[in-house]
């Protein structure tokens, strides 16, 4: 008989920690980890320097609409692939 236990947790220090499960010691279990996809904007706006930098750029763009930088996406890709 197969019993399924579903828990949601976060990775902490590179480890997946689960709450205590009421199973006898020595019980063989199979563990599957499913990673939830994060929205790109969630990642980009997550706390830290990345978020602060992006918000500063957005503020600057709104305050100085005449100052624009144009980027050739193909050239940028080539440059990134070369490095």
For the whole prediction, is pTM greater than 0.85?
Answer: no
d(CA 15, CA 12): 5
Radius of gyration, CA atoms only, the chain: 23
Per-residue pLDDT of 17-75, as tens digits, reads: 888 888 889 988 888 888 877 666 676 667 776 777 778 888 888 888 787 777 778 88
Closest by CA position to 31, among listed 61, 62, 12, 5:
5
| Stated length of the chain | 83
Domain ranges in the chain are 40-83
pLDDT at 59: 85
pLDDT at position 49 is 65
> Which residue blocks in 1-83 are alpha helix, DSSP H?
40-44, 49-63, 73-82
């Amino acid at each position: 008989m197969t019993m399924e236990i579903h828990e949601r947790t976060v990775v902490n220090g590179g480890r997946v920690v689960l709450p205590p499960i009421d199973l006898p010691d020595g019980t063989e279990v199979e563990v599957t980890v499913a990673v939830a996809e994060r929205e790109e904007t969630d990642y980009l706006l997550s706390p830290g320097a990345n978020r602060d930098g992006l918000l500063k750029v957005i503020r600057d763009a709104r305050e100085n609409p005449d100052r624009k930088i144009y980027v050739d996406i193909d050239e940028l890709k080539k440059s990134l692939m070369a490095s």
